[in-house]
Amino acid sequence: MTVKYMLLIYSNAESWAGLSAEQREGLSRSHLELSRELTEQGLLVSAAGLADPITTRTVSVRDEGLTTTDGPYAEAKEHLAGFYLVECETIDEAIGYAARMPDARYVAVEVRPVMDTSGLEM
């Protein structure tokens, strides 16, 4: 049966800044085309781009106390830039769509199956 896959788009500030205007335009166009195709195929569950990590707050609760810090949790150069949630019959199909994102060339796109609340008695 089909499985839902999260396609996580990674970026980093330097590689984004290094893109030319045409490249950025091409990137947007590729995503528009891909979203349209996934919608037409009935595979798209959801998709969105995420705002710049500068807008991120990381929330943690310890001993009933809430603290927030600026920026994403992981201190890496790479950050999560957007995602697609698609429903595919195999992981290879999902990998195929991830590979069509220009982001896969600039940094990387991660493909992760989504956990399911169903199961069989084992």
Partner 1 sequence: MSDFEPLLREQTPQVLSALVRHYGHFDLAEEAVQEALLAAAQQWPEEGVPDNPKGWLIRVGSRRLMDLLRSDTARRRREENAASLAAPEEFVASGPEIDDLGGRDDTLTLLFLCCHPALSAASQIALTLRAVGGLTTAQIAAAFLVPETTMAQRISRAKRSIKQAGSSFELPPEAERDARMGAVLHVLYLIFNEGYTASSGTDLHSAELTGEAIRLVRGVRRLLPDDGEVAGLLALMLLTDARRPARTDADGGLIPLADQDRSVWNKEAIVEGEALVTDALSRTRLGPYQVQAAIAAVHDTAKRAEDTDWAQIVALYQVLEQISDNPMVTLNHAVAVAMASGPKEGLALLEPLEADGRLADHHRLEAVRAHLLEMSGDLVGARESYLLAARRTTSVPERDYLQSKADRLDP
Q: How far apart are the first and last CA of the chain?
A: 18
Member of 23, 28, 35, 39 binding partner 1 (CB under 8 A): 39
Measured from the CB atom, is 44 or 98 closer to partner 1?
A: 44
Q: Shortest gap between Cβ of 122 and partner 1 (angstroms)?
A: 6
Q: Compute φ and ψ for 31, nearest 5 degrees.
A: -70, -40
Q: What is the DSSP string of 44-81?
A: EEEEEEPPPGGG-EEEEEETTEEEEEES-SS--SEEEE
The one segment of 19-27, 34-42, 47-55, 100-108 that binds partner 1 by CB under 8 A: 34-42
Q: Pick the closest to residue 52 from 11, 21, 85 (CA basis).
A: 11
Per CB under 8 A, 41 contacts partner 1: yes
Q: Compute φ and ψ for 85, nearest 5 degrees.
A: -115, 115
Member of 14, 22, 40, 75 binding partner 1 (CB under 8 A): 40
Member of 7, 8, 34, 44 binding partner 1 (CB under 8 A): 44
Member of 25, 33, 70, 89 binding partner 1 (CB under 8 A): 89
Residues that bind partner 1 (CB under 8 A): 1-4, 39-46, 87, 89, 113-122
